[in-house]
Each structure stands twice: as structure tokens, then as C-alpha cells.
Amino acid sequence: MAVHAHPDDESSKGAATSARYVAEGERVMVVSCTGGERGDILNPRLRDNPDVLRDLPEFRRREMRTAQEILGVEHTWLGFMDSGLPQGDPLPPLPEGCFATEPLRVTTEALVRVVRAFRPHVMTTYDELGGYPHPDHIMCHKVSVSAFRSAGDPTAYPHAGLPWQPLKLYYNQTFTWSRLDALHAALLDSGLESPTPNG
């Protein structure tokens, strides 16, 4: 089970792992915590597309269905609202009712239901920094760890299905300066050009 913050994260973070296990005959469930409603349109070819501008949430749902078909995974939405990526100094407050501001017990219960229904042996998510500091990615980490710990506990969320304890929890995206520095040094030591020339 791969737990992601937004639709499109399943394609840019861990897609090869999901596709590999599907190819080996395993069932893989992708969970999208939000619908990506406040996402940015990074592809310049889509910025002026009237379908995208008119209904970004529906466009994201169609993209997710396409990714699901390509990867061969199962998929479910947790149904929380995208928090957006706040920008500025100081950062503005997050929108009321968004995923990153939901109580952890509410978001955990939603994911525990999915874990108990799907019964994965392994879960993947982001590290405690969210892979990068997007509030939904950080919340996704918190929710995934909380659900991993709670899903097998019969006293936790007893109305959310029969207990099931996944065996492993892996982080599929980490971002640290030491990792980038090590990659930079390894590339230079191999006589290759580094994408981070200043280290």
C-alpha cells in the first residue's frame, strides 16, 4: 500500500516499485489523501487548457485513473481537501478544513479503514519531512505512521474494521542535504557531471 498526499505523487514517487510488484502478481493499493484541488499546473502545455482551468479537481481525477491503469494498481481516495503550498514570508495560514489541519485522529481513522480492508503486508509513505516541506506531505507521513501503529490494535478505532497489522513501513521519498552532497561527490569521483555543480 502506497500512501500519497496528492494524485500525481503516485507517479513521481515510487511508481517503479508499484509497477514492479504488480508485474510480479502482487496487489498494490495507492491511497490519495487529497484530491489535489489546490495543486499548481506545472506543465506549460496545460496552463491554458480550458478543461484544466474549468475543473482542476476533475482533471486530476482523470489523470489518476490513467496512472492507475498504466501502473496496474488499485486506488482509493481518503477524501480530504488539498492544503495548497503556502508561500510568502511569513507563510500565510493554511485554509480552514484542509488536510494538514485535520485532527490526526480523524485522518488516522480514515486510513486505518483502508488498511484493515486491503490488509497490506507493506506500507510506503514519505519521511518526517514529507520528502519536501509541503504541509500535505508532512501530514501524510504523520497519518501513515499513526495508521500503521493503530491498524493492528483491536482497541484503536474498533468500528473501522477487523484489526490488521502491516509488517513493514518504508519511506519512499527522503530529502536531505547530506544525501545530495554524497550524490554530488560520487558523481564527481566517477568523472561524471553533477546536476548540483556547487555541491
Q: Please identify, in words, the CATH class of the domain defined by 2-189.
A: alpha beta
Q: What is the mean pLDDT of residues 15-34?
A: 96
For the cut 70, the answer to whether the pLDDT of residue 85 exceeds it is yes
Strand order in the sheet with 29-34: 74-80, 29-34, 2-4, 122-126, 168-173
Q: If pLDDT is split at 50, 70 and 90, which confidence band does 175 have? A: low
DSSP 118-170: H--SEEEEE-TT-SS--HHHHHHHHHHHHHHHHTT-TTSSTTS-S----SEEE
Question: According to the model, what pLDDT value does residue 197 have?
Answer: 63
Q: How confident is the model at residue 133 (pLDDT cuts 50, 70, 90)?
A: confident
Question: Residue 41 and residue 82: Cα distance in Å, rounded?
Answer: 14
What's the rounded mean pLDDT across residues 139-156?
98
pTM attached to this predicted model: 0.86
| For the chain, domain boundaries | 2-189
In this predicted structure, what is the pLDDT of residue 174?
A: 63
pLDDT higher than threshold 70 for residue 47: yes
Task: Tell me the three state secondary structure of residue 4.
Answer: strand
